Amino acid sequence: MSEDVLERVQADTRVAMKAGERDRVGALRLLADALQKDRKEGGSDDVAVLRRERKRRLEAAEAYRDGGSSERAEAEALEAELIQDYLPAELSDEELGEIVDAAIAESGASGPQEMGKAMGVAMGRVAGRADGKRVSALVKERLAA
């Protein structure tokens, strides 16, 4: 996926600055900072950083909503949407099902107690194109059947 996400975010930041989109510039700068920080710490998984940052925004939006601050909740939700644009396309349910079935077969997992084996294989194949909770739920469902 490294068409280089960081370069794309930085280019989009410049465009947003020229257009006078202050909120967008702020969100993009925070995202660029998170990507740079991860790289300095030896990380190389931009998708993981994007997912983490998106999850933080969604959780913050929910907390603001619960606290009665709908304006701030909306701002966080918009930032989460902005981050979503940089993530790879999600796998369809059918595609994910095929990957999970193949992972279960390859790992030899035969029941819920061996879920970790199948998850390891499945997550490697998913490569950031599906949320871990979604993969986990499907693996658990298929192993319980």
40 and 101 belong to one structural domain? no
Cα–Cα nearest to 138, from 75, 93, 80: 93
- Mark whether 22 and 74 lie in a shared domain: yes
Instruction: Return the closest-CA partner of residue 91 out of 145, 135, 137, 41.
Output: 135
Range of the domain at 33: 5-84
Query: In the structure, what pLDDT confidence band is assigned to residue 14 with cuts at 50, 70 and 90?
Result: very high
User: Number of folded domains in the chain?
Assistant: 2
pLDDT at 128 over 80: no
CA dist 75 → 21, 62, 79, 102, 115 (Å) = 13, 11, 6, 40, 38
pLDDT in tens, 68-94: 999 999 999 999 999 999 988 889 999
Are residue 80 and residue 137 in the same domain, yes or no? no
CATH of the domain at 16: 1.10.1510.10
Q: Does 115 share its domain with 48?
A: no
Q: Are 50 and 39 in contact (CB under 8 A)?
A: no
**What confidence tens digit (pLDDT) does each residue in 91-111 have?**
999 999 999 999 999 999 988
